[in-house]
Amino acid sequence: MEHPAYQSYENTAKQSIASYIELLRIDENYIFTIELAESNSFKKLFQLLTEEILYRYWEENVNDDKVVCHFDDVHYSYNEIASRYANSPTLKRDFIKYISTSQETLRNIEVEKYNLDLKNGWAMLAEDLYGYTLWSDKEEDERIYPGDDSFIHDFNNKVESKYKYVVGVPPMPFSGNLLDAKVVILTLNPGYVEKVNKTQCMAMIPAQKEQLLSLMRNALTFQGEGIYDGYECSRVQGDYYWQKAFEQLAMEAYGSPSSEIYHPIYHDIAFFQLIGYHSEKFRYSAGIKHLPSTIFTNLLAKYLATKTDKTFLILRSESLWKETFGEEVWNKLEEEGRLITKGHKGMSQKITRGNLKKDNGFDKLVNILKPNKHE
């Protein structure tokens, strides 16, 4: 910027980036390239372009030597967006602020199972989950979603150790039978306890390690059968956390204890994390909402909410999950009775009648999970 020959370069680059964004949005009547360029920094515009691409882009292998690249059409109606702010005294400012995000893309995009699979960057990590590596402190063994690494490393360099994301263990953004489960539990991120996730897992024999990695690979590629499988090591890896949390629910819904091997509750309930990386404690950062893995989380949440009839149990951070779904989808879920919330801010994830008092949430879960007598 100090050199006269380049003083206008940033503005030129911003207008180019803004024009690419407008090209993806496909409004045949209006474009707002100049307004986007003038109202945003280059960094923010570049981030927005990245998000707009990530929502749309997927690849399809059609034979051994050919890959077809797709961009999903997501049409904007700037007139319709502006009408939402018709009564606002700051209409133009609110309008520009909104279209400077990718929220409208998420609102309008159609999410289908076939391209959801192909947009799933976690599946790329699943291909690396071999070789018995359940814990590592080596950089080459980091398990990070494609494109997340800069944020994760910057975040870890700024926070106390208890908040750092532990990326030397396999991530668990979702676990169990996510696409077929009756109930999906929404929480923040998988915890990390060194004596469990490191010490106990490293002490397992190779066959147990491979069994655990197989369970994790299947979950990351939407082929999971349950939170736990028939091997004890799957419960050891989580310190029996959900076995304990489900004790009351398992007995009331199924009439058998959650300690039972192949208990149906582990097939009928799955977990979905806001962010898939382990940490001792969770600390939110605004940058999380711009991660490539979060873009996929948003798509997956929309698919589960709009293309299935699942019930969602929210145990941690209702406000963040409401933002993830978007107000329109959230209201739809509430109207359909598909949201169960605790009604309080306690951190306990025990699935008990005492912890799920709001609107008789526990009894609602029991009725959803109780096997059909005619099955």
Beta bridge partners of 279: 191
Burial class (CB in 10 A: 0-12, 13-18, 19+), 300: buried
Distance, in Å, from the CA atom of 307 to the CA atom of 317, rounded to the nearest integer, reads 24
Q: Which of the listed CATH numbers 3.30.2310, 3.30.70, 2.60.40, 3.40.470 matches domain 116-367?
A: 3.40.470
Cα 80–Cα 84–Cα 90 angle in degrees, nearest 5: 120
Residue 374's pLDDT is what? 40
| Contacts with 226 (C-beta within 8 Å, 6 or more apart), sequence order | 176, 177, 262, 266, 267
Going by DSSP bridges, is the β-strand pair 174-175/269-273 parallel, antiparallel, or unpaired? Answer: antiparallel
Q: Considering the entire predicted model, what is its pTM?
A: 0.93
Residue 65's pLDDT is what? 84
The domains of the chain are located at 8-109, 116-367
Burial class (CB in 10 A: 0-12, 13-18, 19+), 148: buried
Going by DSSP bridges, is the β-strand pair 183-187/269-273 parallel, antiparallel, or unpaired? Answer: parallel
Low-confidence ranges of the chain (pLDDT < 50): 373-375
> What does the block give as tokens for 275?
């962010």
Residue 4's pLDDT is what? 76
| Contacts with 39 (C-beta within 8 Å, 6 or more apart), sequence order | 96, 97, 100
